[in-house]
């Protein structure tokens, strides 16, 4: 900074070039550099670090995550929505599915992990991709049918697993009702994933009814204590009595 002197009235630049800019490109670059220096707020004190995603200059994980989401999903309304009514681990799984990064058999193959078989462990018919495991496998389809019947919503129709993570946006109703549907969708993805892991790592086979019951239990637990709907009962939840849920 010995070539830039800042006073209260002006900023004075002292150049000590070996030669002056000669070509048009050099002159243009020099003018651009001067323009940048003139609009830069340079003060006579020590430099400090500032996080420009927050007005106070302080770093927050929330602002970083928001910027990363915007960079990955620049279109309005197309980004992944996090739901604070479910734990972070469930949000994270849904986000990985949305981004196409879940550790399915096919995902491991794409990461050069060599396995004896890449077939879906739930049906054993085709390779286990995200789209198959969460939206195409007969086991998953049976689970989604149970969820549709329970919530009295139309049967799930999705071409990809990513479509499932945003299906709540197509649901008619209030914002809180869509948020509740997103919670149920996320918990269902979590239930399918846990059942798959039990089959892969513990050789344990769960029935569709068991998975459905687990989804109901977890979703009620998180809805009551994270959305603060403490008065909702198990019977009201199983019957999806919306009048009791303050939606």
Please state, in angstroms and rounded to a whole number, the distance separating the CA atoms of residues 1 and 4: 5
pLDDT of residue 43: 63
Q: What is the pLDDT of residues 191-201, one digit of tens each?
A: 999 999 999 99
DSSP bridge partners of 12: 5
Q: What is the pLDDT of residues 117-152, one digit of tens each?
A: 899 989 989 999 999 999 999 999 999 999 999 999
Do 215 and 90 meet the contact criterion of CB atoms below 8 Å apart?
Answer: no
pLDDT of residue 30: 77
pLDDT of residue 209: 94
pLDDT of residue 98: 92
- φ and ψ of 152, to 5 deg: 60, 40
pLDDT of residue 8: 59
pLDDT of residue 77: 40
Please state, in angstroms and rounded to a whole number, the distance separating the CA atoms of residues 183 and 156: 15
Over the chain, what is the mean pLDDT?
85
Q: pTM (2 decimals)?
A: 0.69
User: Which is nearest to 173 in space by CA: 164, 182, 165?
Assistant: 182
Residues of the chain with pLDDT under 50: 1, 74-77
Please state, in angstroms and rounded to a whole number, the distance separating the CA atoms of residues 185 and 40: 49
Please state, in angstroms and rounded to a whole number, the distance separating the CA atoms of residues 131 and 192: 13
Domain range list for the chain: 4-39, 51-79, 82-244
């Amino acid at each position: 900074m010995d070539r830039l002197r800042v006073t209260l009235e002006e900023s004075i630049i002292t150049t000590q070039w070996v030669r002056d800019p000669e070509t048009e490109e050099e002159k243009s670059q020099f003018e651009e550099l001067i323009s940048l220096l003139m609009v830069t707020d340079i003060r006579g004190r020590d430099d400090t670090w500032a996080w420009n995603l927050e007005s106070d200059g302080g770093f927050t994980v929330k602002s970083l995550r928001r910027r990363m989401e915007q960079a990955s999903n620049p279109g309005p309304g197309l980004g992944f929505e996090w739901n604070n009514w479910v734990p972070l681990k469930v949000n994270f799984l849904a986000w990985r599915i949305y981004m196409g990064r879940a550790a399915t058999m096919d995902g491991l193959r794409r990461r050069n992990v060599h396995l004896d078989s890449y077939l879906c462990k739930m049906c054993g018919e085709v390779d286990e991709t995200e789209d198959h495991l969460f939206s195409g496998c007969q086991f998953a389809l049976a689970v989604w049918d149970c969820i549709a019947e329970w919530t009295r919503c139309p049967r799930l129709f999705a071409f990809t697993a990513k479509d499932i993570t945003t299906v709540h946006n197509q649901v008619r109703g209030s914002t809180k009702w869509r948020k509740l549907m997103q919670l149920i969708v996320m918990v269902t993805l979590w239930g399918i994933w846990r059942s798959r892991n039990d089959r892969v790592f513990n050789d344990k086979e769960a029935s569709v009814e068991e998975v459905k019951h687990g989804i109901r239990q977890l979703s009620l637990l998180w809805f009551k204590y994270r959305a603060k709907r403490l008065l909702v009962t198990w019977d009201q939840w199983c019957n999806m009595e919306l009048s009791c849920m303050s939606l």
